[in-house]
Amino acid sequence: MTATRRGFLAGALAGGASVAFACAGRSTLAALAVRPLGADATFLGNLAFVGERDRMERTYGRGHEGRRRLDLRTLTEDALVVSNERFYVRTRYPDRIDPRRPWRVPITGRVDGGAEFALDDLERRARPLGVHLLECSGNGGAFGLISAAEWSGVPLGELLTGVPMRGDAARVLVRGFDEHSSSPPGSSQNGASWIFTWDELAETGAFLATGMNGEPLPKDHGFPVRLVVPGWYGCACIKWVDGIELVGDDAASTRHMREFARRTHQRGTPRRARDYRPAEMDLAAMVVRVEKWREAGKIVHRAVGILWGGKELTDRLTVQLGRRAPFVPVESYRHETNRTWTLWTHTWRPARTGDYTVRLAVDDPAIRTRRLDSGFYARTVRVDAT
Ligand SMILES: Nc1nc2c(c(=O)[nH]1)N[C@H]1C(S)=C(S)[C@@H](COP(=O)(O)O)O[C@H]1N2
Ligand SMILES: [Mo]
C-alpha cells in the first residue's frame, strides 16, 4: 500500500469518527483530543527537522537583536502555558531605561488638560484576563517566536473612559520605550508604537498588562507595563508602555508600523494609520514534532502540531505529509478557542524513508488562512525508518 493510500484511509477513518462524535456533543469529544498510542508502544525519538538551525531555549543578543526561542517540540497537552523564563523574547529590556525614575504613562494629544495612568492604580485594578498567545510576525526558522501565557491587566478601552478626550480623538497611539545603547543613534527616536481605532481596542479586548503567569511582568516582557492585543501579531503588543497619544483620523503611521507592514500583510507600506488593516493572525497550524514509536513490532509515526490564531473554530483541519500526498483530515484535536493554541495529533505510516514536507490547510473557504496558503509554516522532517 502506498503512503498516499494509507494516509487517505487513516484520514477517512478519523473523519468518520469525528462526525459521529460531533453528533454526540462536546463532552464526548473530550475523550478524542490527542489520542494516545497503545500502552505497549515504545517511544523511539523525534524525527529531525531538515534545514532548521535556530538557537532554542537560550536568551541571547542585545537590544532589538535580543531573542529567545521556545522549543516547540516540548509542547504537551497539559503544558500549553509557557513559563515566564521560557516565553519567547523579541527585543530585550532596554538598557537606557532608568530604573530609579518613577514609571509614568502620560496621555497626550487630543485630550483636554493633563491626563495620566498611574502605575499603582493600574496594578490595583489589574485582574486575570486569561491565557493569550503571542506570535512574532517575523516567526520563521524553527518557529520558536511564539508562546502563550496567562496575563493580568486592565482593558485599555476601560482605562480610557473618563479621560477628557476631544471630539477629534479618532485613534489611540500606544508608545513604548525603545532606546538601547546597542541601536544605531537616531534609529528609534519615536519608540515602538502602534495606532489603533477605538473599535479595534474594543473588539480585541486589548489590555495593558502588568502581570504574566501570576508574577509581575518580567523585564524582557515589558516591565512594568505592556500592551497585549489578543489575536494580533506581537509587533502590536508594545512593551515598556510609556505614553498614550490620542491622534486624529489622518495620523501618520509610525516607524514601527511601517517596519512591520509587510509582515502584518498590509498592502504596501501605508503612510497613514487609517490605511492599515488590523494586524491579525489568521488561523494557522504547523507540525511541532514527529514522534517515532514501535508498536506491535512495527514503526508508527505520530505527528504532533499546533493550531492557533484566527477568529473561527474549525473541525476541518487537514494535513499533507509529503508534497505529493493529498491533504487528509487531521486525526485528533479539539478546537475550542482562538485565544491560545490547540494541540493536534495524527498517526502516520510513511512507506519509505526520506524527507517529507508537512503542510496544513483548513478545508473551509470561509476561513482566511493567508500564511497557510503561502506555505509559511511548511516544515520538512527526515523519516529514517519505516
Ligand atoms: N517597546 C517595544 N515593544 C515591542 C517591541 C519592541 O521592539 N519594542 N517588539 C514587538 C515585537 S516585534 C514582538 S513580537 C513582541 C514580543 O514580545 P515578547 O518579547 O514579550 O515575547 O513585542 C513587541 N513589543
Ligand atoms: Mo515581532
- Walk along the chain (386 residues) and give the pLDDT tens digit of each residue: 333 333 333 333 333 333 233 333 333 333 345 666 778 899 999 999 999 998 999 999 999 999 999 999 999 998 999 999 999 999 999 999 999 999 999 999 999 988 999 999 999 999 999 999 999 999 999 999 999 999 999 999 999 998 999 999 999 999 999 999 987 665 655 579 999 999 999 999 999 999 999 999 999 999 999 999 999 999 999 999 999 999 999 999 999 999 999 999 999 999 999 999 999 999 999 999 999 999 999 999 999 999 999 999 999 999 999 999 999 999 999 999 999 999 999 999 999 999 999 999 999 999 999 999 999 999 999 999 99
Question: Rounded to an integer, what distance in angstroms lies between the CA atom of residue 372 and that of residue 360?
Answer: 7
CB 169 within 8 A of CB 195: no
Instruction: Spell out a b/e string for 187-226, using b for 16 or more CB atoms within 10 Å of the CB, else e.
Output: ebeebbbbbbbbebbeebbbbbbbbbbeeebeebbbbbbb
With cell 522532517, the residue in question is 381
Separation CA 3–CA 18 (nearest Å):
22
For the chain, how big is the Rg over CA atoms in Å? 23
The CA distance from 380 to 386, in Å, is 17
Q: How many CB atoms lie within 10 A of CB 331?
A: 24
Is the CB of 195 within 6 Å of ligand 1? no
- Which pLDDT score, from 0 to 100, does residue 2 have? 33
Query: Cα(334)–Cα(344) distance, rounded to whole angstroms?
Result: 8
Is ligand 1 within 6 A of the CB of residue 178? yes
Q: How many CA atoms lie within 13 A of 280 on its CB side?
A: 17
Distance 138 CA to ligand 2 centre (A): 6
What amino acid occupies position 279?
A
What residues have their beta carbon closer than 5 A to ion ligand 2? 90, 136, 234-235
Residue 27 is predicted with a pLDDT of 34
Sheet holding 42-46, edge to edge: 42-46, 284-295, 298-308, 342-348
Query: Which grid cell is 180?
Result: 538601547
Task: Give 106 Cα–ligand 2 centroid separation in angstroms.
Answer: 25
Joined together, the cell numbers standing for residue 200 give 479595534
Task: Give residue 137 CA to ligand 1 midpoint distance, Å.
Answer: 10
**Looking at residue 40, what is its pLDDT?**
86
| Ligand 1: residue whose CA is nearest its atom 20 | 221
Overall pTM surpassing 0.85 (yes/no): yes
